[in-house]
Amino acid sequence: MYRILAGQGETDNLLPGEHDHPLPLATQRSVVSTTRVQLHTSAVCLAQRKKVKESKSAVRDERKRVKDAARLYAVLGIPRGGQDKWPQCDLAKAVITQDGLHSEDAPESLTFPEGAVNVPSTLNYGISGDSKRMLFEVLPVLSAERGRVHFNADTVQETEEAMKHEVEKANMFAKLVSLRNANAKGIAYENRRRCIELFSTPETANDTGRPEVQAAILTLKIRNLWEHLLKFRMDIDNRRALRRMVHQRAKVLRYLKRKDLDRYEAILPRLGLEPGSVEGELVV
């Protein structure tokens, strides 16, 4: 059996017949390596680097958020350190957002003897009022009774079966024209229609030349473009378009101020704007 010689005095303690040959070099290395076990794997190093990177990213995002919150939003009409009045204004309550579409109210139920038609609360392409009543209340009944002049037992049964089929078709059509299926252009069209309807007067309905209507449409476009630029800060072309729309809105509101001061002071809170966002020099 081999033994490691720890010192010169250990050779005297060997029994007769035992050899004082040292262990081979490879065996000595294995013994020494097992005495000091320290795991240094690449997975641990990668986890530490990832943790440091995530912490730096969180600090950078927090600094960006604080910087954005402390800016003078000439775009949004918020003074430095002020409160955003957008959630409480009339325009914000009238327009439709993606989150609002998915959290909309329960659909309206139109009950017939043969079934019920579930009409969504928001329909696409301005379907409302008389057109909504015509599509989901009158049209199914007329389609079921089409071509039937004399009514007897057979025709009544056929009419009931046809009415059940028309109710199914009306439910499928209601899902098709729901605003949830619309793209960005469809939602923008509906929001523009709502802006025109909200800021027009009863005497001049759908008056797109009214300064209040133009300011409302521009404010909605500015809000949407601002949210886009917060995600894509290097989009230079849209940033230039944002500047043009901000100055165009300021020009419209200054014209309204010269024409009628009362209308100017009444429209600012309805749009969630402050006077500082349209008066004086605007730097965006």
Which is nearest to 272 in space by CA: 208, 210, 226? 226
> What percentage of the chain reaches a pLDDT higher than 90?
21
CA dist., res. 131 & res. 205, Å (int): 18
Condensed to tens digits (0 to 9), the pLDDT of residues 160-171 reads 888 888 889 889
What confidence score (pLDDT) does residue 10 get? 46
Once rounded to an integer, what is the mean pLDDT over residues 86-105?
A: 82
Question: What CA–CA distances, in Å, run from 203 to 91, 200, 206, 260?
Answer: 21, 8, 10, 18
pTM beyond 0.75: the answer is: no
What confidence score (pLDDT) does residue 262 get? 94
Which is nearest to 173 in space by CA: 120, 131, 225? 120
204's CB contacts (< 8 A; 6+ apart) are: 210
Domain spans in the chain, listed from the N-terminal domain onward:
103-181, 200-277
Structure tokens at 98: 């993606």
Condensed to tens digits (0 to 9), the pLDDT of residues 152-197 reads 667 778 888 888 888 898 899 888 888 888 888 888 988 999 999 9
What confidence score (pLDDT) does residue 220 get? 93
The SS3 of residue 152 is coil
Q: Would you say 90 and 198 are in contact if contact means Cβ atoms under 8 Å apart?
A: yes
Structure tokens at 160: 């009931």
CA dist., res. 145 & res. 95, Å (int): 39
Q: Would you say 198 and 216 are in contact if contact means Cβ atoms under 8 Å apart?
A: yes
Phi then psi dihedrals of residue 76, to 5 deg? -100, -5
Structure tokens at 234: 């290097």
Once rounded to an integer, what is the mean pLDDT over residues 60-77?
A: 72
Torsion, Cα of 111, 116, 120, 125 (10° steps): -90
What confidence score (pLDDT) does residue 202 get? 86
CATH code matching the domain that covers 200-277, chosen among 1.10.287.10, 1.10.3720.10, 3.40.50.620, 1.10.10.10: 1.10.287.10
Per-residue DSSP letters for 9-69? GGGGGPPTT---PPPPHHHHHHHHHHHS-----HHHHHHHHHHHHHHHHHHHHHHHHHHHH
